[in-house]
Amino acid sequence: MVFADLFFLYFFLPLCLICYFVSKKLRTKNLILIVFSLVFYAWGEPLWVILLLFSAAFNWFSGLMIEANRKSKWAKLVVAGAVTVDILLLVIFKYSGFLVENINGLLHISIPVPQISLPIGISFFTFQAISYVIDCYWETVTTQRSFKKFLLYLSLFPQLIAGPIVRYSVVENEINKRKSTMSDISEGALRFIVGLAKKVIIANNLYAIVKQFYGDVNANQYNDISSMSFLGTWFVVIAYSLYVYFDFSGYSDMAIGLGRIFGFHFDENFKYPFICKTISEFWQRWHISLSSFFRDYLFYAPIFGKPRKYVNLFLVWFCTGLWHGAAWNYIFWGLYFGAFLLLEIKIGKKKMKKWPLWLTHIYSKLVIVIGFGIFCFSDMGQLGNFFMNISGLGMLFHGNAFADTVTWSTFVKNIFLIIAAIIVSMPVLQYIKKFFFEWGNNVVYTTGKVLASVGCAYLLVMSSILLVDSTNNPFLYFRF
């Protein structure tokens, strides 16, 4: 089941909210969320609920064993064993086919490639489980003795299948004690609707542009782009970059909004990443839950007895790329960003702050957009064509055009969509919100509330209308 679906919006979610808010006791509310979360996950893949339940039971029990053996060497063995099993499950279900294909190619053998369907959201709930076990060992969280409460943490449907990666420390107190105020419900609903609009109105229409030129890249079905024009390639990869942002940040907004309605306060996952001036700043604003996970659990990890800065940096960005998918382009994508982060470390923050503002923005946007081109193409042949075209070499060696009428026509047709996407990707709406709600004037505040309510009602209606004619609205990060 997905959020951008009429059945979810007008049946599943209302039914869940009614059952939740009719209940008086927190224990009952938690049980209702568990049941609805398991149904939500099982809606498309009933079999993989078993994997989710196993992961929950195994990591919950591991936490108890760490607590019971706190002062002995067994605690370290338990956490090592738990993390190993979690990673092994991820490797089996997500990377086994990729590994076998590469072994076959390297050794020129023919081991049968396993055809295992990817359990949705396995990367997210596995990383949450790993963070819990490690935090139990580090004693930064209190071991959860109730399996039901731990299952609620791992299976909570707002963030179950496409994040953000919510650490147990963030919701530890709210699992045991929380209250949904009218402010929580109102702010959560508005946040959810804004996220829905970002997905349905902006992301889906941006993807239509990408699909027209590059093919159905989410299904790894690519058009031959070897003859695309220079400007055409740039236009589409910029559209793709915006699409990925609105698709994933839209889901994160919906997840955070739903969590707020139920009394959970998830951390932000995106903070307007395209306003960054460096690649380091970009990753402080983009998919924050993932970058902070690798920072805290891998970057400072001891390698051969102590943290090794450059080795750990390589591992972080290799794993960041690999986390996104079982294909070489994702690994290249991670290492590509890692290389620029290393470059910025060598240059130094003080020197980069002296760069002209226009130069830092051009530098960062060029790196980001080209990076998303790497992210887009798992087909190495088309990835090579992409680099030929975007660098201008396609014009030199293949006779490709500098510009073409089809690209221009598509750009003109979608000019308002592109402008809207660029504006919304900037903190413009944030400034408008501050103007109305932090002015200190009751009339201005009331006007802001009315405009926000009317605006979100309009966005909900428009999104619903667009969903009537849409048969498939998967989020990109469901693949990961």
Identify the three-state secondary structure at position 344.
helix
pLDDT band at 436 (very low <50, low <70, confident <90, very high): confident
Q: Is the per-residue pLDDT at 303 higher than 70?
A: no
Please state the pTM of the whole predicted model: 0.92
Section 182-210 average pLDDT: 93
Counting Cβ atoms within 10 Å, is residue 470 exposed (0-12), middle (13-18) or buried (19+)?
A: middle
Q: Is the per-residue pLDDT at 434 higher than 90?
A: no
Bridging pattern class, strands 221-222 and 215-216: antiparallel
pLDDT band at 361 (very low <50, low <70, confident <90, very high): very high
Q: What secondary structure letter does DSSP report for 26?
A: H
Identify the three-state secondary structure at position 272.
coil
pLDDT confidence of residue 447: 83
pLDDT confidence of residue 252: 93
pLDDT confidence of residue 256: 94
What is the chain's mean pLDDT, rounded? 90
pLDDT band at 479 (very low <50, low <70, confident <90, very high): low
pLDDT in tens, 150-169: 999 999 999 887 778 899 99
Phi/psi of residue 216, nearest 5 degrees: -80, 80
Q: What positions carry a catalytic annotation? A: 324
Q: Is the per-residue pLDDT at 477 higher than 80?
A: no
Tell me which H or E stretch contains 215. strand 215-216
Section 244-250 average pLDDT: 94
Section 85-95 average pLDDT: 92
Q: Is the per-residue pLDDT at 408 higher than 80?
A: yes
Tell me which H or E stretch contains 216. strand 215-216
